Structure formats: structure tokens, C-alpha cells
Structure 1
Amino acid sequence: MLLLRHGCGRLIAQDFISASRVLVLRIEDVLRQHLRSLGVDTTEFKPDVGDGTSRTDDATLGKLMRRALPDGRTIKEYLGNDLWSHIDSILNSQTGLNLRNEFAHGLVRPQHCTPDIAGIALALLYQLANAVSAASTANSNQA
């Protein structure tokens, strides 16, 4: 929450570079934390990294988005096709905005850090929170 507050504060202060850099990357983190809380394995074990050793890494966002919850539903089914596609096109797709890769790999330039990009990130965070809340309510009502 501290990072979200900071990103929003930077947006209000019209520091769009800082706001965009903080908010865009929060989307993946929020999604990972939530999926982990549902029991989704968000990691990927690499038995041999080429030197005879193994390691566990975070699964790529693309692989994570194609995983399933412990109850068998896919992440796409859980989030809904529209939100899943929106997240994929904004963060991950080579034919979409691909913001996750641009920001996470240091490829973004100041002209990419606009009020629009910060707004897209906030809107996506809101949509994700709304979907998670709706899913939690639906699960509570079924119990």
C-alpha cells in the first residue's frame, strides 16, 4: 500500500515519470500476491541452470497468467476473459502496450511516462481489486 500511495502522490504532484514507474510495476506485484494467497504457485523451478545447480525463480508473467487455481479454474476464468485480456495486452503482449517489459527492463523513456500511462495503471489496479472483491464475495456466498 505504501508504494501505491507513493505512486498516487507522485501522480497528484504531476511527476508522471515517478508515478508511472511505481504504478505500472505494482500491477504484476498485486496480481502475484493475490494469486499466491489463493494457493497458486507463482514460481518456476529450474532443475539445471547450466552449471549443475538449480534454482527457483518467479514465473514469467506470461506463464503465470496461464496457470490455474487449486480448484482447477484457470487464471483467465478466475479474472474473466475481458480483464485477463486487458492485463495481458497492457502488460505483456508484444502487440499491446507491453508496459511490464518496458518498465521492468529499463526500456521506458521519459516521453512514455505520461498521465495516460499512470491512469491506465491505476484503472487496471482498480479493475483487478474489483474483480478480486467480486470473486471473494461470490466464494463467500457459495459457502
Structure 2
Amino acid sequence: MALPGTMGRMARRKPRPSTPPATQAPALCPCGSGAAYSQCCGRRHSGAAAAPTAEALMRSRYSAFAVRDEAYLLRTWHPETRPPRVDFDAGMRWTGLKILDTTDGSAFHTTGTVTFRAHYTDGGRAGVLHERSRFTRVGGAWVYVDGEFVES
């Protein structure tokens, strides 16, 4: 899951100073699964587990934006669309994720799409990113390719 611009561009388009990763992992996973971060997306971020589906990768990428894990975001971005770095906006906080639809993206597919709404606050103002993201497998692992905004 990338974000501003598209989930791939969840960071703002204008270059901004990078903010270091969150120093303390959240108790509950930001992806909204209800599981502990350490047992959910935290396992993917650390490399202990791979995302088995496009939706699982989307959720883990959303969580990576929430905890500001640039290394994971870059590692799970398609090599042809990956930016050189991820710039996080210090005033932006990701506050919730709702998966609206998935197409393909299972263990039996090589491509998939995930449509979602990612809620955030930016400088105290609430907002929503509504996007359809495309995923594919590279070397057997799911990666984010790109996304398009969806009119709400």
C-alpha cells in the first residue's frame, strides 16, 4: 500500500525533509486488522513474513506509511515505478484504512488490484485518499506498481 499522489505516492509530491521512522511500534496494527502490530504488518516490515496476497501487501504498505518505514515501502515497490526515496510529511498522520474491493491478487494470481480509502489528518485537517492500486509479482513476491485516484 503507497499513499499521497497515489498509495505509491502517499508522501506528498513536493519534496520535504524526511522524518525518521516512528521510534515506538503501535500496539494495534495501523492496517485495521485488530491484531497486534508485531503479529500483523510488523512481521512483514521486519522481513519475518511475506505478504501472501495483494491486499495483505496493501495493508502492510499502509501501515508502513503510518509508522514511516521507508525501507519497507521501497522494498515492496515495483523496480520500474519505485522512486529514489519516500518523503514523509511531518504533519500527516494516517488514521484508518478501509478496503473497498479487490480483484485477483490471491496466491493463484500474478496481478491484482485493491481499491481502498485511507483516512488521514494533515495539520489537523481530516482527509481521505481514495485509490485503486495495482500490484504484481516480481520474483514470486507481491509489489506495488502504481495507482489511480477514484472519484468519491
- The interval holding the TM-score normalised by the smaller chain is under 0.3
Q: TM-score, normalised by structure 1?
A: 0.24
Q: Larger % of strand: which?
A: 2
Q: Larger % of helix: which?
A: 1
Q: TM-score, normalised by structure 2?
A: 0.23
